[in-house]
Amino acid sequence: MVQPGFEPVREALIKNFTHFGEYGASVCVIRHGEVVVDLWGGFADVEEVRPWERDTMGVLFSSTKGLAAICLLMLHDRGLLDYDAPVATYWPEFAAHGKQNITVRTLLCHRAGLIALEKDLSLADMAHPEKMAAVASDTIPAWTPGEAQGYHGVSYGYFVAELFRRITGESVGTFLAREVASPLDADVHIGLAADLDHRVAKMYMQRKRDVITKILPRILLSPKVEGRVYRSVLFGGAESRTRRAFANPSALGTKAVGNFNKPEVRRLELPWANGIGNARGLARVYQPPALDGSHNGVRLVREEVARLPIPRHSWSYDQVLHRPMGFTLGFVKEEPQLFSPNPDAFGHPGAGGALGWADPVEGLSIGYVLNRMDFRIRSRRALALCHALYTCI
């Protein structure tokens, strides 16, 4: 479905399939409470020729972090979380190794220096919150907390998971299901029930042809951000902050993306990468913070709290991503030429291109979910959809 005037978004999605190698995808846009774009197509499983249906879901990767940030915003609205309080206020063991003054805001803005957990982790380890909390609390900051910014690409999830558990006594995934997804009728999950496995699209790695013709040349020659990141991972050595940030757990690293297709990984609650959902679900979840904190009669937070992520709380050259980046309370604040021309907009992209985004200026929310990985830091397929959307506005 496309409302009149928003046809360019459909044309952009079609072009993603015909020119940019999309396998399967869904995109949804809600503006001022009204769905103006709701599209899906392609294949959920290429080998089995299984079509992408209306209710097909995909792996969200780091777009999962945005779902966790919304849950934390709700805790703040309820007076349970103070962004400027030390994390150790809620989790005393966190204070080890000089971390006693790291505030929640510093952690959520990726300025804590906690870019990597040192203990090598297995999938079995990740199923035990107490074990993960002990490993996380034993982490030593890579720099003096607050003095630099570096994307906590993986470690973010472990710290947020335990912080949330200490405050509420339950997991982020449990809270998301009951307090957000169910009231908004949003297909988003952190920890997927077994009876929903049949609706999940298979995630595909980069094709070997793309690795040889596109990725390797960028690694070796490109001065752009992708080149800097890949070179830092491959040739930066053990001290590379980029390499450290994404190397552990190796079972879910860049060489093991296929493990996200395993049911045992879907059962885990990893609020940094293994969220499952579709574009409609993401758009519904981001509609309240794009408006006054509510959507379709469901209020997540008060209006003044919904406005808290609008100011950019951190902006500097990122020690992990090798580019200027902005963050606010767990959300990403990108440059205006990317997902939205409005600097008030916020959300979270994910590896491969998945995107959940809110634009309070236009009262719109965007969801995009796909199943073919992209080697770019910011997927041109996601950008094409966003740019087409704003030509309509």
CATH no. for residue 113?
3.40.710.10
In this structure, the answer to whether residues 15 and 90 fall within a common structural domain is yes
In angstroms, what CA-CA distances link 83 with 12, 44, 174, 177, 381?
39, 39, 22, 23, 34
pLDDT given for residue 120 in this prediction: 82
Could you tell me which of 93, 70, 87, 132 has the C-alpha nearest to residue 289?
70
pLDDT given for residue 254 in this prediction: 63
Rounded to 5 degrees, what are φ and ψ at 59?
-75, 135
How many whole angstroms from its chain centre is CA 254?
16
Prior bond to 249 cis, omega within 30?
Answer: yes
Could you tell me which of 63, 20, 14 has the C-alpha nearest to residue 42?
14
**Helix, strand, coil percent values for the chain (each to nearest 5):** 40, 20, 40
Give the integer Cα–Cα distance in Å for 330 and 170. Answer: 19
Report yes or no: 251 and 123 within 8 Å, Cβ to Cβ: yes
Could you tell me which of 260, 102, 281 has the C-alpha nearest to residue 176?
281
Domain membership of residue 341 (yes or no) is yes
pLDDT tens per residue, range 232-265? 776 677 778 888 888 888 777 666 778 899 999 9
Which domain, by its residues, includes 247? 208-255
Domain membership of residue 303 (yes or no) is yes
Q: Helix 63-77 and helix 279-290: axis angle, to 10°?
A: 40
> Which regions in the chain score pLDDT beneath 50?
none
Place of tokens 């997902």: 339
Q: Classify each residue of 172-195 as buried b or exposed e, where b means 16 or more C-beta atoms within 10 Å of its C-beta.
A: bbbbbbebbbeebebbbbbbbeee
In this structure, the answer to whether residues 248 and 365 fall within a common structural domain is no
In this structure, the answer to whether residues 192 and 300 fall within a common structural domain is yes
Give the integer Cα–Cα distance in Å for 351 and 378. Answer: 8
How many residues in total does the chain contain?
393
pLDDT given for residue 377 in this prediction: 77
In this structure, the answer to whether residues 250 and 271 fall within a common structural domain is no
In angstroms, what CA-CA distances link 152 with 16, 49, 115, 198, 251?
30, 37, 5, 32, 18
Q: Helix 63-77 and helix 155-168: axis angle, to 10°?
A: 30
In this structure, the answer to whether residues 234 and 192 fall within a common structural domain is no
- Domain termination site, one of 237, 255, 273: 255
Q: How many CB atoms within 10 Å of residue 14?
A: 13
| CA torsion through residues 188, 192, 193, 194, sign | positive
In this structure, the answer to whether residues 62 and 155 fall within a common structural domain is yes
Rounded to 5 degrees, what are φ and ψ at 24?
-150, 150
Domain membership of residue 1 (yes or no) is no
Q: Using DSSP, state whether 282 is helix, strand or coil.
A: helix
Give the integer Cα–Cα distance in Å for 326 and 341. Answer: 15
Assigned token pair, 287? 């509609």
Give the integer Cα–Cα distance in Å for 152 and 69. Answer: 14
pLDDT given for residue 231 in this prediction: 77
What is the amino acid identity at position 207? Answer: R
Run of H or E including 30: strand 24-31
In this structure, the answer to whether residues 27 and 123 fall within a common structural domain is yes
First to last CA, the chain: 17
Q: Total structural domains in the chain?
A: 2
In this structure, the answer to whether residues 120 and 25 fall within a common structural domain is yes
- Domain termination site, one of 219, 236, 255: 255
Give the integer Cα–Cα distance in Å for 52 and 201. Answer: 7
* Helices vs. strands in the chain: H and E counts, helices first: 15, 14
In this structure, the answer to whether residues 193 and 95 fall within a common structural domain is yes
Domain membership of residue 287 (yes or no) is yes
In this structure, the answer to whether residues 280 and 335 fall within a common structural domain is yes
In this structure, the answer to whether residues 89 and 221 fall within a common structural domain is no
Give the integer Cα–Cα distance in Å for 190 and 39. Answer: 23
Domain membership of residue 2 (yes or no) is no
In this structure, the answer to whether residues 111 and 245 fall within a common structural domain is no
Q: Helix 129-137 and helix 155-168: axis angle, to 10°?
A: 110
Place of tokens 């607050």: 146
